[in-house]
Chains A and B, each alone.
Chain A
C-alpha cells in the first residue's frame, strides 16, 4: 500500500515508530483544511475515456471525517450482525462492512442534491446520506422510530430529502430506476447527477443494458456504479460473467475501474464522473471492493471463498486501515486518539441500539397506512375480512 509520497511540503510523512516528533505534534483537529495531496493505491484504468489523475487533494479535516464515519459504519454493521444472531433483526440483513470506502468517497465528491439509489446492501449508504443510527437500527428491528416506520426492513431504507431513493430488493431493478432519476434531473435542468449502484451479480441483468442504452441515447446524467465485491451471493464473478471487466461492459459507454477500498480513489472517480456525465451522458464506474460478511446473514461466506482470502483482504486492503495509516503518516492524530474515535463509535452505536430497542413496534392501524398517498375512502381487509376491515385514508 502506498503512503503519501507527495505533499504540499507542509507536513512530512513520519514512520509510526518515531516518537521524537511528539513535541512538534499538534492535537488532532477537525477544522484544519490545509491541502494534503495523496496518491491512490493504484492508477485508474479507463475504457473509452481518459482516466483522472492519481493525485487526490484532501485535508486533515476530511481525513479525520473519513476515519470517524467509516468507523461508525463498520461498527454499525458489526452490531447488526449481533442483533441478527439474537433474533432482534428478522428476515434479510445484507452487511456492507469492507465496502465503506465506496459510500464515504462518493459522499465526499457530491452533494445531497445528487441522487443515490442502490439495492439491498443499503445501511451504510443511508448513513452516508445523513441517516441516523437510531433510524437505522429501529428500522432493522421493525420499530416505529425506523426510517420507514418499521414497514420496510433492512432492504428498504429511504431518505427522500437527501435524494436517497433506497433500498431495493429486486436485483437489477434499481438501475432503470436510477436512470429515471437522472431523466427527471435532466428534464428539470437541475444540473445534478444520479449515482445508480449495483453489484457484480446485477451487472448481467438485461434491464441494466436497456436502461443504459436509453441513458446514452438521451445523454442522461446517470453514473452507473458497479460495486464489484467479486461474488454475486455464492457465485464468483468468473462463473457468472463471460467478461468480468464490468467497467467495459457498457461498450460505447465510457468506464473507469477504481480501487473501491481506497476512499480517495472513489472520491476522485466520483468527482470525475460527475463532471463527465453533465457534459457527455452516462459513465460506468467499477469499484473493486470486498465484503467481509457473506451475502447475507444466512450465508457464512466461506463456502465459496477461503478464509485466507478474506483475512488477506482485511490485512492488505481494509479501507479504514488505509486511512489510519494516512492519518498517522501525516501526523494528524495519535494511535490512541484513533482508538478513542473507534471507542466513541462503539459507544454511539450501543446507545442508538438501546434507544432503538425502546422504540415500540408500529401500532396495528399502521398495517393499512401508506397503501396509497390518496385513498378515496377505499376499503381494505385483514386476513379475516369479516373481522378486520377498514377504510384507507
Chain B
C-alpha cells in the first residue's frame, strides 16, 4: 500500500458500510495519510491505531450521520495534497491550534496573560490552556473564583494599565454576568476617552450549543456582541482560523470577543506550514470563501461552516453549485465579500445557530438588500436556531438547531427548486 492508485481503491472501500457498524467506519474516516516532508512514504493509519484516533472525535454524544458525512468531505483536500506531497500538510485539532496560538503569543509578549476559571491547574475546562501553567507560572495563568463580573472587570482594568489579558469565559452564557464590563468598560472606553485609553483584551470561550447541555448553556452571543461598536467579534471555524484569528486578536489593540465552539475543539483540520509559523496571523474583518460556486451563496460561521460545506456537496448532486462563505468575523462584517458573492450568484442563504430574531442573518440580509438589491433573483433565506429556549431531549434539540437538510432545502427554495429535479447525466 504505497502509491496513489492503491489509496484510491482503499478510499472506495471506505465508503461502503462495514459489517461492524458505523463506529468502526467513523474511525477509518478519521485516519488520514501521514506525510513526511522528505520522502515519498505514504502510510495509512492501520486498524491498530483506531483507538487513538477515536479520541480525536468529538467526545460529547458521538457523531450523527451528518457529522460522519461532514468528515467524508475532508478526504478531498487531503487527496489533492497527496498529489503534491512536497507541500506537506499537517493535521491539527482546533484545541491544539488554540493552545499553540496562546503559547506562542505568551512567549512573544510578556504582557500577555490568561485568566479564567480552571485555566491553570485544571489545564482548562476544555483543555485549551493545557500546559500553560507549567510553562508560564501562576502569575501569567491565573485561576479565578467563580466570579465573572469580578474577573472580567479586573481583566479590563489590567488592560487599561497596559497588560494584554486573555479572559476565558467557561462558556459565553456566563459572560452575561460580566457583559457590562465587556461593553461599557471595554468596548466604549477608547471612544469615551477620545483615544487615551485603549483596551487590548481578548474575551474567549465556547459559544452556542454543545450537545444536550440545555437552555441555559446553549445560547449564541454573536448577534449581541456583534452589534456593539468598539468591539471586534471573531468566529473561527477551522484550526487555521483558530490559530490565525486568536493570534490576531491577542495582538489587536482593541477588545476582541472570540467565539469558539465546544464541538469543534476535537475536530482536526489540515494546517499549512505557513499557518504553523509563530508569526502567522489572519486579517480581522475578512471572510473566507471556503468553496467557490456560481448558483447560490451560503454564509455561515463556526460549526455551521462544516454543515454548509456538506449541504453544498448534496446540492452539487442536484446541479446547484453553491458558494460557501466562512464569515470568520462578525464584527467587522465582511460585507464586501458577501455582496460580491451575491452579485455573482444572485441568491443567498444565511446560516447560524443563534436565535433568529435580530440575528446575524438578519444583518446580512439587510446589507445585501441595501447594497445589492438589483442582483437578487430570489428572496434571501435565513436558517437559524429555532425561536425557543434549547430543549434537552435529543429529538427536540435536533429540531432546535439547523441541520444539513435545512440548509439544502432553503438553498433549493432560493433556486426555485423545491421539487427534486430528475437525475441529470
**In whole Å, how far is A134's beta carbon from the nearest beta carbon of chain B?**
15
Residues of the B chain whose Cβ atoms lie less than 8 Å from the Cβ of A379: 332, 335
Indicate whether A70 reaches chain B with its CB closer than 8 angstroms. no
Indicate whether B62 reaches chain A with its CB closer than 8 angstroms. no
- Cα–Cα distance between A185 and B196 once the two chains are bound (Å): 19
With beta carbons under 8 angstroms apart, the residue of B150, B160, B230 that contacts A214 is B150
State whether A184 and B253 are in contact (beta carbons under 8 Å apart), knowing that A151-B192, A152-B194, A160-B197 are contacts in the complex. no
Indicate whether A55 reaches chain B with its CB closer than 8 angstroms. no
- Cα–Cα distance between A361 and B155 once the two chains are bound (Å): 34
A171-214 interface bits toward B, Cβ cutoff 8 Å, 1 = contact, 0 = none: 00101111111111101100000000000000000110111011
- Contact across chains for B230 and A371 when beta carbons are under 8 A apart: yes
- Contact across chains for A148 and B196 when beta carbons are under 8 A apart: yes
Whose C-beta in chain A lies nearest to the C-beta of B198? Answer: A373
State whether A207 and B149 are in contact (beta carbons under 8 Å apart), knowing that A179-B157, A184-B161 are contacts in the complex. yes
- Contact across chains for B181 and A176 when beta carbons are under 8 A apart: yes
- Cα–Cα distance between A370 and B254 once the two chains are bound (Å): 10
Within 8 A of A (CB), among B157-194: 157-163, 180-181, 184-185, 189-194
Indicate whether A46 reaches chain B with its CB closer than 8 angstroms. no
Stretch of B9-17, B72-80, B81-89, B139-147 that contacts chain A: B139-147
With beta carbons under 8 angstroms apart, the residue of A185, A372, A373 that contacts B161 is A185
- Contact across chains for B147 and A210 when beta carbons are under 8 A apart: yes
Residues of the A chain whose Cβ atoms lie less than 8 Å from the Cβ of B252: 374
- Contact across chains for B284 and A165 when beta carbons are under 8 A apart: no
**In whole Å, how far is A281's beta carbon from the nearest beta carbon of chain B?**
14
**In whole Å, how far is A188's beta carbon from the nearest beta carbon of chain B?**
8
- Cα–Cα distance between A370 and B283 once the two chains are bound (Å): 20
Indicate whether A168 reaches chain B with its CB closer than 8 angstroms. yes
**In whole Å, how far is A64's beta carbon from the nearest beta carbon of chain B?**
32
With beta carbons under 8 angstroms apart, the residue of A187, A207, A371 that contacts B190 is A371
- Contact across chains for B157 and A181 when beta carbons are under 8 A apart: yes
- Contact across chains for B370 and A176 when beta carbons are under 8 A apart: no
- Contact across chains for A152 and B370 when beta carbons are under 8 A apart: no
Whose C-beta in chain B lies nearest to the C-beta of A211? Answer: B150
Whose C-beta in chain A lies nearest to the C-beta of B254? Answer: A372
Indicate whether A317 reaches chain B with its CB closer than 8 angstroms. no
- Contact across chains for A166 and B153 when beta carbons are under 8 A apart: no
- Contact across chains for B157 and A177 when beta carbons are under 8 A apart: yes
Residues of the A chain whose Cβ atoms lie less than 8 Å from the Cβ of B365: none
- Cα–Cα distance between A159 and B194 once the two chains are bound (Å): 11
**In whole Å, how far is B114's beta carbon from the nearest beta carbon of chain A?**
12
**In whole Å, how far is A324's beta carbon from the nearest beta carbon of chain B?**
36
- Cα–Cα distance between A117 and B156 once the two chains are bound (Å): 13
- Cα–Cα distance between A175 and B254 once the two chains are bound (Å): 22
Whose C-beta in chain A lies nearest to the C-beta of B284? Answer: A376
**In whole Å, how far is B233's beta carbon from the nearest beta carbon of chain A?**
12
Indicate whether B237 reaches chain A with its CB closer than 8 angstroms. no
Residues of the B chain whose Cβ atoms lie less than 8 Å from the Cβ of A380: 229
Indicate whether A23 reaches chain B with its CB closer than 8 angstroms. no
Residues of the A chain whose Cβ atoms lie less than 8 Å from the Cβ of B230: 371-372
State whether A370 and B113 are in contact (beta carbons under 8 Å apart), knowing that A173-B184, A180-B155 are contacts in the complex. no
**In whole Å, how far is A267's beta carbon from the nearest beta carbon of chain B?**
25
- Contact across chains for A183 and B191 when beta carbons are under 8 A apart: no
- Cα–Cα distance between A86 and B345 once the two chains are bound (Å): 59
Whose C-beta in chain A lies nearest to the C-beta of B229? Answer: A371
Indicate whether A35 reaches chain B with its CB closer than 8 angstroms. no
Indicate whether A59 reaches chain B with its CB closer than 8 angstroms. no
A133-157 interface bits toward B, Cβ cutoff 8 Å, 1 = contact, 0 = none: 0000000000000001101100010
- Contact across chains for B193 and A156 when beta carbons are under 8 A apart: yes
State whether A181 and B160 are in contact (beta carbons under 8 Å apart), knowing that A169-B184, A175-B153, A214-B150 are contacts in the complex. yes
Whose C-beta in chain A lies nearest to the C-beta of B183? Answer: A170
Residues of the A chain whose Cβ atoms lie less than 8 Å from the Cβ of B198: 373
State whether A183 and B154 are in contact (beta carbons under 8 Å apart), knowing that A173-B181, A173-B185 are contacts in the complex. yes
With beta carbons under 8 angstroms apart, the residue of A176, A188, A385 that contacts B153 is A176
- Cα–Cα distance between A118 and B160 once the two chains are bound (Å): 14
Residues of the B chain whose Cβ atoms lie less than 8 Å from the Cβ of A183: 154, 157-158, 163
**In whole Å, how far is B281's beta carbon from the nearest beta carbon of chain A?**
12
State whether A177 and B190 are in contact (beta carbons under 8 Å apart), knowing that A160-B196, A373-B195, A376-B283 are contacts in the complex. no
Residues of the A chain whose Cβ atoms lie less than 8 Å from the Cβ of B332: 376, 378-379
- Contact across chains for A184 and B157 when beta carbons are under 8 A apart: yes
- Contact across chains for A173 and B153 when beta carbons are under 8 A apart: yes
B261-289 interface bits toward A, Cβ cutoff 8 Å, 1 = contact, 0 = none: 00000000000000000000001110000
Indicate whether B151 reaches chain A with its CB closer than 8 angstroms. yes
Residues of the B chain whose Cβ atoms lie less than 8 Å from the Cβ of A160: 193, 196-197
With beta carbons under 8 angstroms apart, the residue of B147, B159, B180, B253 that contacts A213 is B147
- Cα–Cα distance between A210 and B177 once the two chains are bound (Å): 12
State whether A176 and B149 are in contact (beta carbons under 8 Å apart), knowing that A160-B196, A370-B195, A371-B190 are contacts in the complex. yes
**In whole Å, how far is B18's beta carbon from the nearest beta carbon of chain A?**
49
Residues of the A chain whose Cβ atoms lie less than 8 Å from the Cβ of B139: 187
A contacts, CB < 8 Å to B: 115, 117, 148-149, 151-152, 156, 158-160, 165-170, 173, 175-185, 187-188, 206-207, 209-211, 213-214, 217-218, 369-374, 376-380, 385-386
9 CB contacts below 8 A, A to B, read A151-B194, A184-B161, A184-B162, A188-B163, A214-B147, A371-B190, A371-B229, A372-B232, A379-B335
| Further contacts, 16 of them, CB under 8 A, given A148-B192, A177-B154, A370-B190 | A148-B193, A165-B157, A165-B161, A166-B189, A168-B184, A173-B180, A175-B153, A176-B149, A179-B157, A183-B158, A183-B163, A210-B153, A372-B190, A372-B253, A374-B253, A379-B332
